[in-house]
Structure 1
Amino acid sequence: MTAVVTDPAEAGAPLAAEAARFASFGWMRGTSGNLSVVTDRDPLRLAVTASGLDKSELTPADVVFVDGDGAPVDGGNPSAEAALHARVVRLTGAGAVVHVHTVASVAMARRHPQGIVLRDLEMLKGLGLPDHEQEVLLPVIANSQDMGVLGDRLEAAREPRVPAVVVAGHGLYVWGRDPRRARHHTEVVEWLLELELTV
């Protein structure tokens, strides 16, 4: 069970650290991308990175608390995609969601708009698969500025064994039970995409 967190700095510290890490890889250029962590389950509450900020410079206070629909609870300006973060959490039970804008995810979605097949790779174990002798489809969904529409597409396309989805022309959404696990999943998925891009 997730402990209730009401202090923005307590919720924001791990998000600021993860954002700085992803930004150092070039995955959150400019003010792009956003991160969230569940702070309560009943009712559902998330801390989401605030909109329009350079992710390499976030402080622990640069978060906004949102409800299970992604709406701000106590004011503030969360990422426009907070509603999708909340939808992912409701669908998957995740404790943290990562959204990054990587070149590999956009390029591979252009090559494989019906989904990206991943098979026979040891790194698949980093997503929780039992061994390398697996074949899974990383879903690719069409982009939309309407988070309800995007959430419907994600729900329809989601592959339960893969904690990620690519949004065409946009980037990558990845989730995990906590920020650390979501980071690991993000790094693994991005490695797989970079590999497929080179072959």
Structure 2
Amino acid sequence: MNQFSPQGITDETLVAAGTALAAEAARFAGLGWMRGTSGNLSVTLERDPLLLAVTGSGLDKGELTAADFVVVDRDGERVEGRGGSGHRPSAEAGLHARIARITGAGAVVHVHALPAVVAAHHWPDGVVLRDLEMLKGLGHLAHDETVVIPVVQNSQDMTELGDAFESRYLPATADVAEVPVVLVAKHGMYAWGADLKQARWHAELIEWMLRFAIETRELETR
């Protein structure tokens, strides 16, 4: 565990981050996207060095307090010295940090919305979306543009999972337009944005479009 030496991170900053994480976790739990103790959320506290506040592991996400978070570094390792209530970070904190590093995200949400799991099962090479008004919420055209939501295979090794994400995201190698989400097969989705509100919007929009894709597939195959 690393020692925490923040530059410009105040107690007020940490309280605000914890409060926001608890509120968003309660919202997602209410949607049924963070059942039991599943899922995790993060906000970026600082860029250099990269520090994130991540919801603590093993906690009911519908009952978090402003102190139920852990500060982690660029590798998802807990840093000591300030913030949180002694919780341990999820192993998935490493992927949160990787996404924040690669995309510049200010927040990452990992939820277990069922449509994300079902869609990844049906379309393991990526979910093709086109001609949907909701695409505008992801920064794409509502018509005449094809967007592919990337899918990666699940792994308990966050370095391996992060490598898979990065290979699909980087413009030099990706076969998809940039989208603020990745689906993890038989697991769930990671969505991100400039802050928690935008990350939530992206998750909500994508969940709706995935449900549309699944339901229209079922109609077409009857």
**TM-score category by the smaller chain?**
over 0.9
Unaligned segments of structure 2, at least 5 residues: 1-6, 81-85, 170-175, 217-222
Shift in CA distance, 177/54, structure 1 to aligned 2, threshold 3 Å? same
Structure 2 match to 1:79: 90
- State which of 16, 19, 37 in structure 1 corresponds to 2:43: 37
1:169 partner amino acid:
K
1:51 partner amino acid:
S
CA contact (8 A) 2:124 2:185 kept: yes
Q: Distance in 2 between matches of 1:39 and 1:70?
A: 13
Structure 2 match to 1:135: 146
Task: Report sequence identity in percent.
Answer: 59
Structure 2 match to 1:173: 190
Deviations 1:90-144 (A, max 9, x none): 1100000000001101111111111100101000001111443321110010000
Give the paired residue count.
Answer: 197
1:68 is aligned to 2:74: yes
CA contact (8 A) 1:129 1:161 kept: no
Give TM-score, length-normalised by structure 1. Answer: 0.95
Larger radius of gyration: 2
Q: Distance in 2 between matches of 1:123 and 1:53?
A: 32
2:89 partner amino acid:
P
Structure 1 match to 2:101: 90
CA contact (8 A) 2:52 2:72 kept: yes
Distance apart, 1:6 and its partner CA = 4.4
CA contact (8 A) 2:57 2:87 kept: no
- State which of 9, 28, 32 in structure 2 corresponds to 1:5: 9
Unaligned segments of structure 1, at least 5 residues: none
**Residue correspondence of structure 1 range 50-199 to structure 2 within 5 A:** 50-74=56-80, 76-158=87-169, 159=176, 161-199=178-216
Q: Distance in 2 between matches of 1:112 and 1:152?
A: 20
CA contact (8 A) 1:123 1:132 kept: no
Distance apart, 1:79 and its partner CA = 1.6
Distance apart, 1:4 and its partner CA = 4.0
Deviations 1:133-162 (A, max 9, x none): 321110010000000000000011124521
1:14 is aligned to 2:17: no
CA contact (8 A) 1:46 1:67 kept: yes
2:78 partner amino acid:
P
Deviations 1:32-65 (A, max 9, x none): 0000000111111000000000000011100000
Of 131-140 and 99-108, more deviation after overlay is shown by 131-140
CA contact (8 A) 1:5 1:11 kept: no
Structure 1 match to 2:219: none
Query: How large is the RMSD of aligned CA atoms in angstroms?
Result: 1.4
Give TM-score, length-normalised by structure 2. Answer: 0.85
Shift in CA distance, 66/160, structure 1 to aligned 2, threshold 3 Å? farther
Q: Distance in 1 between matches of 2:42 and 2:199?
A: 10
